[in-house]
Structure 1
Amino acid sequence: MPGSKDLDPSSSPRALLGAELRHAREATGLSQDELGQSLFVSGSFIGQLEAGTRRVQPDMALKLDEILGTNGFFERNCKAVNRSKYPDHFAEAAEAETIATAIRQYAPMLFPGLLQTPAYARAVNRAYDPTAPEETIDEWVEGRMVRTRLLDHPTKPLLWAVLDEAVLRRETGGRAVMAEALRHVAGLARRGRVIVQVLPFSTGAHKSMEGSMRLMDFEDAPPLVYFEGPGTGRLEDDPATVSKLRFTFELLTASALSPEKSLALIESVAQDYAHEEHP
């Protein structure tokens, strides 16, 4: 398996732990595949740990210390590195997207987190938990807004979103909130920062009717796909699964409106919401 490029340990605790894992593995003369065999995982999974796209879990940390002779280093550090402000089912995916070179996402019901405005995110989180204290909602919204800062970079990562028309039509937070959310997405698209396509109702049945999906590509690690449901999520690196879902995304983009027609529809619906809010 090709060796990964040098990491910048200052970039994140996960990158530091990955760099230490690579250093310890190479010091023992093991390849990624050989270490993976000892842990009953693939060599590509070891590569993902070293690149920082996957977490070192506590049970694996114990085995790493035993195999690599690292005197409890990974056991001591994996818990601290794995602390996250995101829910457990989403934390690994949220951290992976920060180092992704490209994110391709199909959203069937709501705007992807990276495209949300604070008011829209607040409405979504309040719907998720109607009885949560306001301070908790504030924390959740702040966490989502931190994620959106990924788009502050002019070109990275590539974000390509296919939005079901239901995303545009489902009134979330009121008409003013929807108008603002749609204009925000339209602004990002007009600046060329994101590619957005709308999958219209007229498409009818399609290959991803069962739910959302997010494909992530990386410079030095294999791609990942993330599936999400109510309060649950799963990160998958199986090449066959990733390939199948990539094909699904390609079919969705072929069935969706072009980026130009999608932008026109988004701006038209935003205008409708704004007009109805302020007749």
Structure 2
Amino acid sequence: MGSYMVNRKELKPDSSPQAAYGARLREMRERRGWTQSDLATALECSSQHVSAVETARKSPTLPFSRRVDAALGLAGTTDSFEREWREIRHGSLLEGFAEYVAHEGRAAEVRLYEIGIIPGLLQTPEYAQVLAESAVTRGAITPEQASERVAFLAERQAILGRPMMFVVMDESCIRRPVGGPKVMGRQLDRLVECAGDPRTVLQVAPYAIGERRTFDLPVNVLTMPDRSVVSYAESQAQGHLDRDTTSVLPMLTAYHQLQAEALCQAESVAMIQEVRKGTL
């Protein structure tokens, strides 16, 4: 018992995000009267692994966090360990984005609007890598954060539960060259492929719509399985997640108005293919 108490005293939740994660895991486990072995059995891992995470000797992983949430009944809640893991892994992301991504993975419908760059969920790995490396060159992020950003995007693309996806891109997204002709060519090919997926509606909002463009910043709007709506918008410095229906619904209306002004999917694909010819 004396050794156990010494180990407990060695926990310093304020020393790092991983330590805070471990301390909360121990607290939640003990609140249920479980030993490390009890939790390990539920997680299908060793008690040594549970101990290592609780004492921050090992960092938690996404699969581990999801198993913890399932075992403790926290899946999909604001107290989930998956959410805490994302905040640890992606602390360099804008405020609200990690929470948005948790919603994104469960959404029934995803609506995206982007200006200047291809929407993340449709980016090729090469395109995403070029953007991340550019941010490192500018000193905006570290090389480690760049690697994290690219890995996180791949993760989002992989776990997205194949909802219906509506994408409107400003014409600047396809005309702004990123990474040279080879990278850009593959990216444009990827867009055409996405347009062929029956679960994706892809449109280009041409420069010609002028003042009828309803958004000046990128916007994400999610429709959840219960038909509630969530929006996420960001500026250069901050992101904002909004779950208030009274403010999100007007954004949904503006999105529909933008879709009405944008080119239809066939015309959008034709424009993308025309731009693609210039990358050959």
What does the per-residue CA deviation read over 1:175-219, in whole Å, with 9 as the maximum and x for residues that have no partner? 211111110011111232421000001111134342111000111
CA pair 240-269 structure 1, distance change in 2 beyond 3 A: same
Report whether the alignment pairs 1:253 with 2:272: no
Q: Report how far residue 14 of structure 1 moved.
A: 9.0
The corresponding residue for 1:232 is 238
The correspondence of residues 99-248 of structure 1 with structure 2, limited to 5 A, is 99-130=106-137, 131=139, 132=141, 134-150=143-159, 156-220=162-226, 222-248=228-254
The corresponding residue for 2:35 is none
Q: What is the identity percentage for the equivalent residue pairs of Structure 1 and Structure 2? A: 26
CA pair 119-82 structure 1, distance change in 2 beyond 3 A: closer
In 1, distance between residues paired with 2:130 and 2:275?
19
What are the ranges of 5 or more consecutive residues in structure 1 without an aligned counterpart? 1-8, 21-50, 57-73, 275-279
In 1, distance between residues paired with 2:170 and 2:145?
29
What are the ranges of 5 or more consecutive residues in structure 2 without an aligned counterpart? 1-42, 44-62
The correspondence of residues 259-278 of structure 1 with structure 2, limited to 5 A, is 259-274=265-280
CA contact (8 A) 2:164 2:200 kept: yes
CA contact (8 A) 1:55 1:82 kept: no
In 1, distance between residues paired with 2:67 and 2:173?
36
In 2, distance between residues paired with 1:15 and 1:109?
38
In 2, distance between residues paired with 1:219 and 1:267?
35
What does the per-residue CA deviation read over 1:115-170, in whole Å, with 9 as the maximum and x for residues that have no partner? 0011110121223332455454333212111111246x6xx211110000000111
Q: Report how far residue 241 of structure 1 moved.
A: 1.2
In 2, distance between residues paired with 1:85 and 1:243?
32
In 2, distance between residues paired with 1:230 and 1:112?
16
Q: RMSD over aligned Cα, in angstroms?
A: 2.9
In 2, distance between residues paired with 1:15 and 1:239?
28
The corresponding residue for 1:85 is 89
Give the partner amino acid of 2:171. E
The corresponding residue for 2:60 is none
**Counterpart of 2:169 in 1: which secondary structure?**
strand
CA contact (8 A) 2:109 2:163 kept: yes
The corresponding residue for 2:66 is 12
TM-score, normalised with respect to structure 1: 0.67
In 2, distance between residues paired with 1:220 and 1:18?
23
CA contact (8 A) 1:150 1:157 kept: no
Q: Report how far residue 82 of structure 1 moved.
A: 5.7
Moved more, 140-149 or 196-205: 140-149
CA contact (8 A) 1:160 1:196 kept: yes
TM-score, normalised with respect to structure 2: 0.67
Give the partner amino acid of 1:102. E
Give the partner amino acid of 1:240. T
Report whether the alignment pairs 1:55 with 2:78: yes
In 2, distance between residues paired with 1:188 and 1:243?
27
What does the per-residue CA deviation read over 1:73-126, in whole Å, with 9 as the maximum and x for residues that have no partner? x9xx69855644232522111121111111001111211110001111012122
